[in-house]
Chains A and B, each alone.
Chain A
Amino acid sequence: MSVYIARSSAIAARSLDGEMIIMSARDSTLFTLNEVATEIWKAADGVTPLDRIVRDRVCAQFEVEPDAACADAEVFCTQLAGHGILLISDRPIESKTEAAP
């Protein structure tokens, strides 16, 4: 089953020296994302399946084994969804996603 992810509109975000800083407007929690996580977050458009994002954006740039990378990405996305940073669904997400910085 495919997993779809979209950036929440209830966040603020900016890149600082290659590190993505994300602030949750919901609970004022501050996050930073590493390079790999930033690639996934930027590609979270609601319509591209997560496994394709991992294959095209992560495995293409970083030396990681695809199955392990997909499993790690699902865990990471679930964690971010818990903080309201990402929306996660088993079907494409229609809501508007703001452009990544």
Chain B
Amino acid sequence: MTSLMERISERARELHVPLNIHLNLTWKCNERCVHCYEDHEAVAGDMSTAEVKHVLDQLAEAGALFLTISGGEIMLRRDLMEIVAYARSLLFDVVLKTNGTMLRDQDAAEIARLGVRQVNISIYSYNAEGHDAVTLLPGSFARSIEAIRRLKRHGVNVDMRTPLMESNGRDFPKIQALAAELGVEVCFDPTIFPRTDGKLNGDVNPTSLRLHGEKLYQILRDPRLVPTREEFCAPPPSAGQHALTQFPCGAGRNHAHIGPDGAVTPCSLYPMHCGSLRESTFAEVWRSPAIERLQRTRKRDLPVCSTCPNVASCDPCAALAYLEGDDRGASLVDCEKTFAITGIPSPLMVRNGLPA
């Protein structure tokens, strides 16, 4: 059954309305997470408060509703609450992404007062040793957990966000127990992206931290993680014409990312520069050739994905494909994840001799 959210989202894709916006306020961060895809040393100047407000005015005019505000670390922006208040005055649905390490009690109270719908806090382990080994910031686990407790005390809806990697993959039941103790939901994701600037984090390539093969397969079929396994891992429907006319994902169709310097990309993980809001209006960028090309693309236009038996149930990630060389191609990482769910290898996997 199609949910109301799915219906609205599909309608926005058809009408090319940027319903979902990811607004990144700064690249700066006080943590140095080993798996992070961002460049925290980027020197491009962050937009001023006035510039951000002007962007929000344009986004509201364009029909944007769901606004995710993230960084870097958003609490490093002294004007964060002013920006959130302005977004709420424009009736945006606001979700904040933060590590919480700098969140004070008065911030939690203000977030509650402003009607922020949800705060996402990244937690990488059930204990300090595992979490701090990812963030490389000693004491960060205790501070992030305290932020969750503060927000909960003020009645704010909090979600823990946990990327699953080699280092923490088998710990997910303990992380679930931690979330239950804190009274919050936890969302796991095994997708680890390469850095969008192609560099490494020190000597570490984030992609080397990914769960692969049998481990990924077992985790995505573990009933403790996927209670609806029968439905989640069901064989894909046959690939009819309807599947082929669907959009691959929302990037550039009903979703856009705006960087701290006003640069617009189709999503936060898809570093294809489409324009700058310091030089053009959002409406102009949203009509740019790069965005228009995405808007025209359907699954039938993807040479590999259109021939894949998983095409009806897979939403191929154009960002991963782009970072692997061709946003109309398929991503091997994406294919492996879909294989772990459906048990059916994609043509790209077969071509690469997978599964071994």
Chain A residues engaging chain B, CB cutoff 8 angstroms: 9-17, 21, 23, 25, 28, 30, 32, 98-99, 101
Q: Which interface residue of A12, A13, A98 has the most chain B CB atoms within 10 A?
A: A12
Query: Hey, which chain B residues are within 8 Å of A15, CB to CB?
Result: 63
Contact present for B65 and A30 (CB under 8 Å):
no
B115 within 8 A of A: yes
**Known contacts A23-B93, A28-B157, A101-B60; A16 and B8 CB within 8 A of each other:** yes
Interface set, chain B 102-130, CB cutoff 8 A to A = 115-118
- The answer, among A11, A25, A30, for a CB contact under 8 Å with B8, is A30
Query: Hey, which chain A residues are within 8 Å of B117, CB to CB?
Result: 12, 23, 25, 28
B94 within 8 A of A: yes
27 inter-chain pairs at a CB distance below 8 angstroms, sorted by A residue, are A9-B115, A10-B115, A12-B88, A12-B92, A13-B91, A14-B19, A14-B63, A14-B64, A14-B65, A14-B91, A16-B8, A16-B17, A16-B63, A16-B65, A21-B8, A21-B65, A23-B93, A25-B93, A25-B115, A25-B116, A28-B117, A28-B157, A30-B5, A98-B88, A98-B91, A99-B91, A101-B90
Q: Compute the total of residue contacts between A and B using a CB distance below 8 Å.
A: 58
B280 within 8 A of A: no
Contact present for A11 and B91 (CB under 8 Å):
yes
A22 to B118, CA, bound (A): 16
Query: Hey, which chain A residues are within 8 Å of B115, CB to CB?
Result: 9-11, 25
Chain B residues engaging chain A, CB cutoff 8 angstroms: 4-5, 8, 11-12, 15, 17, 19, 60, 63-66, 88-94, 115-118, 157
Closest to A27 in B: B157
A95 to B157, CA, bound (A): 24
Contact present for B91 and A101 (CB under 8 Å):
yes
Query: Hey, which chain A residues are within 8 Å of B91, CB to CB?
Result: 11-14, 98-99, 101
A13 to B90, CA, bound (A): 9
Contact present for A17 and B93 (CB under 8 Å):
no
Closest to B155 in A: A26
A14 to B254, CA, bound (A): 14
What's the nearest-Cβ distance from chain B to residue A24, in Å?
A: 8
Query: Hey, which chain A residues are within 8 Å of B118, CB to CB?
Result: 28
Query: Hey, which chain A residues are within 8 Å of B8, CB to CB?
Result: 16, 21, 30, 32
Closest to B17 in A: A16
What are the 7 tightest A-B residue pairs by CB atom distance, in nearest-first order? A12-B93, A14-B65, A25-B115, A25-B117, A23-B93, A10-B115, A13-B91
Query: Hey, which chain B residues are within 8 Å of A11, CB to CB?
Result: 91, 115
What's the nearest-Cβ distance from chain B to residue A21, in Å?
A: 6
Closest to A7 in B: B91
Closest to B94 in A: A12
**Known contacts A21-B65, A25-B117; A32 and B89 CB within 8 A of each other:** no
